[in-house]
Amino acid sequence: MKLLLPNKSIQCLLYFFLLCAVACSHTGSTCCDYNQIFRGQWDDYYLRALSCIEKANFQQALSDFQASLERRPPSKQYDRRMIRTYGMHYLDYFPNRETGFIYYMQHEYENALKYLNRSIQSEPSAKAYYYRNQSQKKLQTSIGQPELILTEPYHITQNLSEIWQSENAFNIQGSAYDTLLIEEISIQGHPIWVNNAANKIDFSKKLVFEEGKHDIHIQVKNICDTTSEKQIILHVDQTGPSISIKKGTQADTISINAQDASGRLALIIDQQHIHSVNQAVLNHEFKWPSGKTEIYVCVKDRCKNQTCANVSHSQLFYEPQISGLIANNKASLYSDADFSSIHPIADYIVIELNQTSPMTVFDEQIHLSGKISAKRSIVSVMINDKEIPIQASKNIYFSRQIRLNIGQNQLYVIAKTISGESQRKMIQAYRKIPSVLKPENRYGLSIYPFHVNGQEQRTWLNQLFMLSDEAEQSSLALTESFEKNLLMIFQERHRFRINYRGQSESNETGSIPFQGSLFGAAYVSKYGLEITAKIVDNQTSAILDIKDVYRENKGNIDIQLMARELSEKIHRSFPLIRGQIISKMSSGYRFECKDDLPKIAWPILVYRQTSDSDTNITGNGSITPGNYLNQMGMIVIDDGEAQCGDWVISR
């Protein structure tokens, strides 16, 4: 009997299966795309399980995760970052988290919660929190409404609140509660980054607003997307009351009119409180004080902005010749060819500013104040595009806080009379950065290219010969996009001095070497994207912190939002703190600080304020962790000197 041999096609197919069997035997693989030599160690089982998840071979993955844990010592059967496998090789090890993820994918939410909570207890991660929240959401049968309580500003009530202040900065503090987990807190539609969902979350956010009215919306949301919200109306008022002063209706009387949008005014004359009103206009007429040739008039609004004026009896009651006004205020006259309607000879508008030009400042704001005089009544006054309310008068006093940009700023006052003629006075203000905040004195952070799925992004060989498949190229492009977004956000915040791929943003002399490095890793799978960032001290090689973010792959991952979240987490771990030395101790100096103090040793600068509001750096040192008491910390001076009253700021 003849043996029938298979045809060539069938022979080739048999050879292919034989080769696969040999390959699977060599790698210990279950054909889950595990392309490494399988040695039967705990890390081999773990890595093979991850490759099985990608192929949706969940049962094999569960078996391998269990085998991996069993090969670890009983005291080390937990999730942990940076576990050493051999030599100098380390591995982020999350068998419990990944087991919980598999049960979530299989809709076994009780089991998923069991393993995800176990992972969070041993090594919290963004991915574990995300799938824990999703599992709880799937199991939820009744949905309540979260509770939002605001604790700062202190006078906020349960109802619509209206607040007036002169500061640009506005701090909101509060707490969100729910029997379900609170997942998100947002202000003005922008999320406050919550590290993880919880039944109670305390939050604090410092916002900066320009002058004007602002409707602020605060919203909290639980994991089932049920929301609660509150609204605050904030008025930022940095313009002092306008004051019009003229003769009264009776002999030797003076009439004062003050106006301010805040709706609350107080008149003070020669340091004595005279009159108050709870409205936008104050009118007060009184007899000139006997025996006085001059009085000092101040009007304050509800935000404690004030405008003041020295009023002379002779100038008010015996109006001088206009030629005398011009002679005495030549420096106050200013003409501008761009203003076609300016005719200074007709109405003799004189603008006197209490500030000189040009001027150099180191503060964010400048207080601009002065007096406007004219032969005819002044009906309009504008300060840097903001018109201030006035009563028509020949003498107007004004004041306003103006925020300055870094560098050159032009500040101007425009006055218009009843006849329509105008005058403008302008000063130049140059704002400098205080020495202690200059880029060369910031903490230096080198950002290195992120690894992708455990590998460096691209070698020159891969780039030259394109030795990567389509999926790998997509992962590389996604990671590079994240990297660039993160760099841009870091540069926007100016917290660190950045060195990226050998390019430093600061070329100024005097910069110290970069003190830390940021190493990133991206884990890209068909189920989601996980990014971790590790910050390492360059001198000691100590890991200062590890932060991570995660997004489930639902077809469109917002890379920029992920980068902002990671940036926020890193910046919160290394806040810019400022305090003042209050005492000298045997082990260093104790300083008082209102900010949250870091949990690690961190470099600081000691400085003193100079007469022109600049800063003079006197010493270098570091914060000593673990010696905190009632918002007080300890510093050790490494170089230079320090004394009580000096200021401390973290690099």
> What integer pLDDT is reported at residue 627 of this predicted model?
63
pLDDT at 24 over 60: no
Q: What is the pLDDT of residue 197?
A: 84
pLDDT at 513: 83
Question: Burial level of 112, CB count in 10 A (0-12/13-18/19+)?
Answer: buried
Predicted TM-score (pTM) of the model is 0.79
Give the dihedral sign, CA 640/641/645/650: positive
Task: Extract the tokens encoding 584.
Answer: 């000298």
pLDDT-derived band at 594 (thresholds 50, 70, 90) equals confident
What pLDDT score does 408 carry? 94
Residue 505 pLDDT level (bands cut at 50, 70, 90) = low
* Distances in whole angstroms, Cα of residue 340 to Cα of each of 159, 336, 345, 421: 51, 8, 14, 10
Mean local confidence (pLDDT), 265-274: 92
Output the CA angle 254-258-262, nearest 5 degrees: 160
Q: What is the mean pLDDT of the chain?
A: 83
Q: DSSP E strands: which ranges in 384-500? A: 386-388, 393-403, 407-417, 422-431, 443-447, 451-452, 496-500
Amino acid identity for residue 39 in this structure:
R
Query: What is the maximum alpha-carbon separation in the chain?
Result: 143
Q: Which of 132, 108, 120, 129 is nearest to 78 (CA)?
A: 120
Q: At residue 158, does pLDDT exceed 60?
A: no
pLDDT at 193: 74
Average pLDDT on 329-352 reads: 49
Tens digit of pLDDT for each residue in 421-433?
Answer: 989 999 999 999 9
Backbone angles phi, psi at 241, to 5 degrees: -60, 145
Contact 379, 391 (CB under 8 A): no
Residue 220's pLDDT is what? 93
Task: Tell me the H-state helices in 374-496.
Answer: 460-465, 470-493
- Report the alpha-carbon distance of residue 36 to residue 22 in Å, rounded: 14
Confidence band (pLDDT; 50, 70, 90) for 469?
A: low
**536 pLDDT band (50/70/90 cuts)?**
very high
Residue 528 tokens read as 């989601």
Q: Cα-atom radius of gyration of the chain, to the nearest Å?
A: 34
pLDDT recorded at residue 6: 53
Average pLDDT of span 332-337: 34
pLDDT tens sequence across 568-578: 999 988 888 89
Selection from 363, 337, 324, 346 nearest residue 426 by Cα: 337
Q: Which of 53-62, 161-170, 568-577, 578-587 has the highest mean pLDDT?
A: 53-62
Q: Is the pLDDT of residue 169 over 50?
A: yes
Reported confidence tier of residue 597, pLDDT bands at 50, 70, 90: confident
Output the pLDDT for position 331: 34
Alpha helices in 55-182 (DSSP H): 58-70, 95-105, 109-122, 126-139
Report the 10 Å Cβ neighbour count for 116. Answer: 30
Selected residue with higher pLDDT from 288 and 348: 288
Rounded mean pLDDT of 349-361? 90
Tokens 């691209």: give the residue. 458
Geometric angle at alpha carbon 12, from 9 and 17, rounded to 5°:
130
* Residues whose CB falls within 8 Å of the CB of residue 409, separated by 6 or more in sequence, listed in order: 428, 429, 430, 431
Return the higher-pLDDT residue of 153 and 516: 516
**Structure tokens given for 143:** 């949905």
- Chain centroid, CA 64 distance in Å: 43
Residue 534 tokens, joined: 């590790």
* Amino acid letter, 621: G
Burial 535-552 (b: 16+ CB within 10 A, else e): bbeeeeeeebbbbbbbbe
Quick one: which H or E segment has residue 90? strand 89-93
Q: Which residues contact 649 (CB under 8 A, 6 or more apart)?
A: 436, 437, 576, 577, 578, 604, 605, 607
d(CA 252, CA 397): 21
Hey, what are 41's tokens?
Answer: 């160690």
Q: Is the pLDDT of residue 212 over 50?
A: yes
Would the pLDDT of 4 be above 80? no
CB 92 within 8 A of CB 81: yes
d(CA 332, CA 138): 73
Within 10 Å of residue 616's Cβ, how many Cβ atoms? Answer: 13
With contact defined as beta carbons under 8 Å apart, do 332 and 350 qualify?
Answer: yes
pLDDT of residue 329: 35
pLDDT of residue 3: 43
Tokens (6 digits) for 314:
């002779």
Terminal-residue alpha carbon distance, the chain: 90
Sign of CA dihedral 78, 79, 80, 83: positive
Paired tokens of 341: 């309607």
pLDDT at 71: 93
Measured between alpha carbons, how far is 621 from 634 in angstroms, rounded to an integer? 10
In this prediction, residues 480-506 reach a mean pLDDT of 87
Quickly state the pLDDT bin for 117 (edges 50, 70, 90): very high
The token pair at 90 is: 């380390």
Q: Which residues pair with 398 in a beta bridge?
A: 370
User: Which residues have CB under 8 Å from 625's CB, separation 6+?
Assistant: 598, 599, 600, 601
Burial 235-252 (b: 16+ CB within 10 A, else e): bbbbbbbbbbbbebeeee
Output the pLDDT for position 566. 94
Q: How far apart are CA 576 and CA 546, in angstroms?
A: 18
The answer to whether residue 25 scores a pLDDT higher than 90 is no
Closest CA to 578 of 599, 601, 607, 600: 607
Distance CA 239, CA 368 (A): 9
How many Cβ atoms from other residues are within 10 Å of residue 206's Cβ?
9
DSSP-derived secondary structure letter, 239: B
Torsion sign (Cα): 650, 489, 548, 227: positive
278-299 as b/e, with b when 16 or more CB fall inside 10 Å?
Answer: eebebebeeebeeeeeebebbb
Four-point Cα dihedral 7, 12, 15, 21, nearest 10 = -120
pLDDT of residue 629: 67
Question: Who wins on pLDDT, 340 or 609?
Answer: 609
